Structure 1
Amino acid sequence: MLRSLFAFLCAAAIALAATPLVKKFACRVGAIDVPKDARRVHKKPIPLLGGIAIYLGFLISVLIFADLSLQLAGILIGASVIVLLGALDDRFVLDAKLKFVVQIVAAIIPVACGLRIEFISNFFNFAEGGKIWLSYLSAPLTVLWIVGLSNAVNFIDGLDGLACGVSTIASFSIFLIVVQLGDAATALLIAALAGACIGFLPYNFNPAKIFMGDSGALFLGFILATVSVSGNFKWFTLVNFGLPFLVLGLPIFDTAIAIIRRLIHGKKPWEADRGHIHHKLIDMGMSQKQAVAILYAVSAILGLSAILLTNSNLIKMMIMALVILIVLAVAVKLYLSHERHFKEQQAMSAENPDKPADLKDDAE
């Protein structure tokens, strides 16, 4: 616990000190997010590359306080590849297919070093501790998990402080779970991640002075994904009453809905749009701070639910049933809201055929 505390404080201090320097560097190299379409909510250009400060805080803290192992080396190398990819994309806007390929390569690195989802729980035989061992499916499913969660966190990075704050809440939730499981190594890693996020957040809260960009969002998703399949925490991974899915429920849910929505409308799954949960809250008239506060609360409730799931089986069943009902209700509500908004856009486009539909949204 003491080492985890030191790792947390060290990462926070480094990220806090590094962020202004990274901001100057981003301005110098031209890594600036200019509000040029309806998806963006900010009104003026904001520097990117804030993820580098988070990465440095995490990396240096882990190298100082953690015991290096093959799996940890794989995680750090893969994370470094992800940060480099994100930084280049923040500056040059890379091709989506190229990014996807590099993300797969980055995910393969820790998997090749032994990081695996080894089994999923047999839901129908859970009371007896039934398991379904994945065998040769272990590696590809782990890669899918890492790549998927990396992009899920990236997808919710649409409001000041949202992705970083949600990742912080998820980190604290995972920390409390692994402490209960007695996993000191994983606790130290996730404490360092939480500290790095805390150090960056003062510059990222609304009104943001710097964005973490893809270099930060992809990195946070990558570390959260790899930590959740490492140490003792991996025994709860995937279907074991969905602890990681609850802790990281907001980005996973938002991403799943986004992919389904885009496919229904004949778009590519990775094609950006204005249909994410945070966009819906803004369209309902909320300010950025209000929308972020609500999503923080949702993440905290999901994290608390995951912590409770490590205890009583009865509590597990009740919480899972409640969470499933809530998720289904929210999914239906958001889908109907999006369909109504989509039809309104089509109607407006029909009335004004010379004006692009995306320009009819509120300026972001």
Structure 2
Amino acid sequence: MPISLELIGKVAAALGVAFLIALITTPVVKNLAVKMGAVDVPKDARRMHDHPIPRMGGLAIFLGFLLSALVFVPMTGPLRGMLLGAVIIVILGIFDDIYALGAKFKLAVQIICALVAALSGNVITDLSNPNVFSADLYWHLGWLSIPVTVLWIVAMTNAVNLIDGLDGLACGVSSISSLTLLVISLLVGEPTVALLVAALAGGCLGFLPYNMNPAKIFMGDTGSTFLGFVLACISVQGLFKMYTLISFVVPFLIFGLPIFDTCFAFIRRIAHGQSPMHADRSHVHHRLIDMGFSQKQAVAVLYVITAILGLSAVVLTTSGPVKAMLLLLAFCAAGAVALSVFNLNNNRRRSHDEEDEEK
């Protein structure tokens, strides 16, 4: 379907409805979280807040997304499977935000939800061959399609959960990723995917004002696992269906930040002889804080990185890999210069502070 005024209107309506529902229901969810005991009490160095804050705010994002999707998106088998899996994920998240469930139990339920989505039609049947010199343009996964899809969905579910460490970080990154998916789905003619990500972006943007630093409410596992699950399922419905190089690269650009942070965290923990699920304070956002960035600055930096990766994905889709690579390299060079300037100024400030203390 070509981009038309009717489609643009539906996309705007889907985004607007989800935005308003999330914006209106978040205060209600906040009060509900307090009554149910879903409150994050700072008890270790990983927490960036210094007072109890309600969590479970992801329920408002879910409500905005669900109601908007039911109104604007045609109901199909894959969509039913995704929504059923999302409902289970949200229920799991609510119980986890209240009772702090075990990691193995949560992983088992996530696998079940991913299977529900995959067996309903949200499945990666082919992957473009990353070897550009091969005569085979793409791989037929065959019987591997289900396990590969489940692995992708579970990995993304936990990847978004792991970056939820600063006020507004996971919600903002998910908003940017959703808007990137929205642009790409419109460009490649995927109206159903466009409506879905519009509803998801609207839910995130409606919740974001309450979640920005200083946060009034956290999305909790209810929100972070839901966002990761739905983003993974939507990418399966849209991006992985294209038999070109972009079907392999684009998802890894759009979700580059959570994917990198998760892979780096797992490698770091295994190298230290720890369980990959062991929580620590060495995520990308923690490292930015340790470098001297404030919470707002660290979140802004990670927003910019996500936006750059998203823009590169859009350029890759529309203009090919060469221009996308040049754009990405230019942004990386500019980022390296900016980081060097920040470190230089930060070191100078510390030196001045030390001199003042000596005097």
Q: When the two structures are superposed, what TM-score results if normalisation uses the length of structure 1?
A: 0.86
CA distance in 2, matches of 1:320, 1:226: 28
CA distance in 2, matches of 1:286, 1:249: 21
Aligned mate of 2:153, from 113, 136, 146: 146
Matched, 1:284 2:291: yes
Residues 33 and 46 in structure 1, CA contact (< 8 A), matched pair in contact too = yes
Aligned length: 328
- Secondary structure of residue in 1 paired with 2:242: helix
CA distance in 2, matches of 1:152, 1:194: 18
- Secondary structure of residue in 1 paired with 2:317: coil
Residues 14 and 56 in structure 1, CA contact (< 8 A), matched pair in contact too = yes
Matched, 1:105 2:112: yes
Compared with structure 1, are the counterparts of its residues 35 and 229 closer, same or farther at alpha carbon in structure 2 (3 Å cutoff)? same
Post-superposition CA distance 1:270-322 (Å, at most 9, x none): 11100000000111111100000000000000000000001233525735984
Matched, 1:19 2:26: yes
Aligned mate of 1:155, from 159, 162, 169: 162
Which residue of structure 2 aligns with residue 181 of structure 1?
A: 188
* Corresponding letter in the other structure for 1:50: G
CA distance in 2, matches of 1:158, 1:184: 33
Matched, 1:171 2:168: no
Post-superposition CA distance 1:78-101 (Å, at most 9, x none): 000101111100000001100000
Residues 253 and 313 in structure 2, CA contact (< 8 A), matched pair in contact too = yes
* Corresponding letter in the other structure for 1:249: G
Q: CA RMSD for the aligned pairs?
A: 2.2
Matched, 1:191 2:198: yes
Residues 237 and 243 in structure 1, CA contact (< 8 A), matched pair in contact too = no
Which residue of structure 2 aligns with residue 82 of structure 1?
A: 89
* Corresponding letter in the other structure for 1:193: L
- Secondary structure of residue in 1 paired with 2:139: strand
CA distance in 2, matches of 1:280, 1:217: 21
Which residue of structure 2 aligns with residue 62 of structure 1?
A: 69
CA distance in 1, matches of 2:10, 2:229: 23
Q: CA deviation at 1:114?
A: 1.1
Matched, 1:266 2:273: yes
* Corresponding letter in the other structure for 2:126: F
- Secondary structure of residue in 1 paired with 2:279: coil
Residues 90 and 226 in structure 2, CA contact (< 8 A), matched pair in contact too = yes
Which residue of structure 2 aligns with residue 355 of structure 1?
A: none
Structure 2 residues not aligned, in runs of 5+: 1-7, 337-359
Which residue of structure 2 aligns with residue 201 of structure 1?
A: 208
Residues 157 and 227 in structure 2, CA contact (< 8 A), matched pair in contact too = yes
Post-superposition CA distance 1:118-161 (Å, at most 9, x none): 11111224797711110000000000000000100000000000
Residues 127 and 240 in structure 2, CA contact (< 8 A), matched pair in contact too = no
Compared with structure 1, are the counterparts of its residues 323 and 170 closer, same or farther at alpha carbon in structure 2 (3 Å cutoff)? farther
CA distance in 2, matches of 1:155, 1:238: 28
- Secondary structure of residue in 2 paired with 1:182: coil
CA distance in 1, matches of 2:92, 2:170: 18
Aligned mate of 2:229, from 214, 222, 244: 222
Compared with structure 1, are the counterparts of its residues 64 and 314 closer, same or farther at alpha carbon in structure 2 (3 Å cutoff)? closer
* Corresponding letter in the other structure for 1:105: I
Compared with structure 1, are the counterparts of its residues 141 and 325 closer, same or farther at alpha carbon in structure 2 (3 Å cutoff)? farther
Residues 39 and 53 in structure 2, CA contact (< 8 A), matched pair in contact too = yes
- Secondary structure of residue in 1 paired with 2:131: helix
Post-superposition CA distance 1:51-84 (Å, at most 9, x none): 0000000000101111100100000000001011
Residues 265 and 283 in structure 2, CA contact (< 8 A), matched pair in contact too = yes
Residues 308 and 328 in structure 2, CA contact (< 8 A), matched pair in contact too = no
Structure 1 residues not aligned, in runs of 5+: 330-364
Which residue of structure 1 aligns with residue 50 of structure 2?
A: 43
Which residue of structure 1 aligns with residue 339 of structure 2?
A: none
CA distance in 2, matches of 1:237, 1:128: 13
Residues 14 and 69 in structure 2, CA contact (< 8 A), matched pair in contact too = yes
Q: Percent identity?
A: 55
Residues 177 and 310 in structure 1, CA contact (< 8 A), matched pair in contact too = yes
CA distance in 2, matches of 1:316, 1:141: 30
Which residue of structure 2 aligns with residue 341 of structure 1?
A: none
* Corresponding letter in the other structure for 1:47: P
Residues 137 and 243 in structure 2, CA contact (< 8 A), matched pair in contact too = no
CA distance in 1, matches of 2:180, 2:115: 26
Q: When the two structures are superposed, what TM-score results if normalisation uses the length of structure 2?
A: 0.87
